[in-house]
Amino acid sequence: MKKARLEERVYFGKDGDRLPIIKTYLSEVQDGFVPKTWWPADEVGSNQSARRDHLRKLLTDVEPFGTPKPEALLQRIILISTNPGELVLDSFGGSGTTGAVAHKMGRRWIMVELGEHAHTHIIPRLTKVIDDEDPGGVSETTNWQGGGGFRYFRIAPSLLESDRFGNLIISRRYNAAMLAEAMCKVMGFTYAPSDELYWQHGRSTESDFLYVTTQTLTRDQLAKLSDEVGDHRSLLICCAAFRGKPDAFQNLTVKKIPSAVLAKCEWGHDDYSLNVANLPKAAPPVEPVQTDSAQRLTPKQTRRRAAQPNLFSTDGDGGAE
């Protein structure tokens, strides 16, 4: 507005008391004219025209989605708000119109849908778009010729759930292999279970491993694991609970599963937009104590220990059991 006023492009009416109007010159507009706020059905279609004239003919085996948006409507929205190659998100995919139009307009897209119509409507529809078997909607105005592709993922159930006392526990829907794989992902390890060593579920390097168990580990069990891991390897153990002090086992880092998972989540923000500059800073590395038999910790081990200062304290979350 300031810039427009300096350029004398703001008009307040001849007596200067009207709502301001800003002059926009054609040369400033990328493509066509400034969008109007009133979008009549004869320009952008309607639910009814989308059902009757397009989707009923496109997916003949299924009853069309109840209220599909017409492709011309999404075309206008996507044209106004994005450039070719940009990413369009519709986290409530519905009939799949957003993805179909984004695809035809050369945008990348993500759709999320929890209903079964993800399979019965969205996937068949987008497959037809890709195979150039969708002559309707905006295919003509976008000169759509088919092509491209998409990937489809199913989101796993939540790893944690509340028990009847309100405590977080590992979801009963996870079996041992699913849990090990999920924890590898959460902790940044590659899932690579070993046939020989029961404690190797994942690895981050040739000598750094992850072990996942729902057991409570005793001090003796930790000592045995430490012996097996040896001096030249390190092991991150994610377990339900543990006893004993970690300092005795320089090659082990032990974490409780609910706390380890929760520490990787961010809760309670007003603003969840990812701003890398604002990510929480890691605590400064703790200088490892060197004993006769102990080796110096690797930087990774040092970081892990520094990041879990309260894991073995008895106050609050993260205390050893």
Residues at the interface with ligand SAM (CB under 6 A): 68-69, 90, 92, 94-95, 97-98, 112-115
Q: What is the DSSP string of 45-69?
A: --HHHIIIIIIHHH-TTSPPPSSPP
C-beta atoms surrounding 295 within 10 Å? 14
Of 90 and 181, CB closest to ligand SAM: 90
Q: What's the CA angle centered on 115, arms 258 and 64, to 5 degrees?
A: 170
Shortest reach from residue 83's CB to ligand SAM, in Å: 20
Of 110 and 306, CB closest to ligand SAM: 110
Locate 58 and state its tokens: 């496109």
Of 117 and 256, CB closest to ligand SAM: 117
In degrees and rounded to multiples of 5, residue 110 shows phi and psi of -130, 130
Of 99 and 318, CB closest to ligand SAM: 99
In degrees and rounded to multiples of 5, residue 202 shows phi and psi of -145, 165
Q: Which 8-state DSSP code applies to residue 132?
A: T
> What's the CA gap between 127 and 149, in Å, rounded?
8
Shortest reach from residue 321's CB to ligand SAM, in Å: 35
Shortest reach from residue 109's CB to ligand SAM, in Å: 12
> What's the CA gap between 255 and 152, in Å, rounded?
33
Chain center to CA of 187: 15
Q: What is the DSSP string of 164-214?
A: TTS-EEE-TT--HHHHHHHHHHHHT-EE---SS-TT-SEEEETTEEEEE-S
CB-CB contact of 149 with 130 (8 Å): yes
> Any long-range contacts for 7-15 (C-beta under 8 Å, 24+ apart)?
none
Of 29 and 41, CB closest to ligand SAM: 41
CB-CB contact of 97 with 70 (8 Å): yes
DSSP run (H or E) holding 220: helix 219-229
Of 95 and 308, CB closest to ligand SAM: 95
Of 55 and 257, CB closest to ligand SAM: 55
Shortest reach from residue 151's CB to ligand SAM, in Å: 17
Residues in the chain: 321
Give me the residue whose beta carbon is nearest to ligand SAM.
Answer: 94
Shortest reach from residue 313's CB to ligand SAM, in Å: 38
Of 121 and 255, CB closest to ligand SAM: 121
